[in-house]
C-alpha cells in the first residue's frame, strides 16, 4: 500500500491517497465523517481510496477513529502537522461580550 499526502496551503486542506490518485469518473463515492473530514470509498469493494481533511494547519488532524490511523499519524507527523483526538478538543476563539446592549 502506497499512501501519499498532498497539502493545499491556499485552502488549508490535505488529501491522503491510500491507493494512488483517484480516477475521474471512476466507481467511488465520498462520505462526510464530520465538519473537517471526508473519506472516499471504492464502489467495487468498499475499501478506502482517499481521506480529505480541512483546516489542517489551523486545528490539526483527528485520526483516532480512522481505519489507517497509524499510517496516517506517521505521515502527518513527518509533515509537521498537529494530531488531535477526542480528548483534545478544538480550541475556540469565540468570545462572548457581556453587558453589551443589543441594538
Please check the confidence at residue 99 and state whether its pLDDT lies above 70: no
**What pLDDT score does 94 carry?**
46
Domain containing 46 equals 4-84
Residue 97 within a domain: no
Asked if 82 and 36 count as a contact pair (C-beta separation under 8 A), the reply is no
| Rg, Å, the chain Cα set | 17
Residue 47 within a domain: yes
Q: What is the value of pTM for the model shown?
A: 0.79
Asked if 54 and 36 count as a contact pair (C-beta separation under 8 A), the reply is yes
Residue 27 within a domain: yes
Q: Over the stretch 62-88, which tens digit does the pLDDT of each residue have?
A: 999 999 999 999 999 999 999 987 665
Q: Over the stretch 16-67, which tens digit does the pLDDT of each residue have?
A: 999 877 777 888 999 999 999 999 999 889 899 999 999 999 999 999 999 9
Quote the number of domains for the chain.
Answer: 1
SS3 call for 71: helix
Amino acid at each position: 500500500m502506497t499512501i501519499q499526502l498532498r497539502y493545499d496551503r491556499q485552502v488549508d486542506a490535505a488529501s491522503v491517497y491510500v491507493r494512488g490518485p483517484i480516477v475521474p469518473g471512476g466507481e467511488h463515492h465520498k462520505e462526510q465523517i464530520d465538519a473537517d473530514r471526508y473519506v472516499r470509498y471504492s464502489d467495487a469493494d468498499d475499501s478506502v481510496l482517499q481521506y480529505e481533511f480541512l483546516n489542517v494547519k489551523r486545528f490539526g488532524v483527528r485520526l483516532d477513529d480512522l481505519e489507517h490511523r497509524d499510517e496516517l499519524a506517521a505521515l502527518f507527523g513527518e509533515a509537521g502537522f498537529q494530531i488531535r483526538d477526542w480528548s483534545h478538543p478544538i480550541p475556540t476563539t469565540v468570545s462572548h461580550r457581556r453587558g453589551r446592549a443589543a441594538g
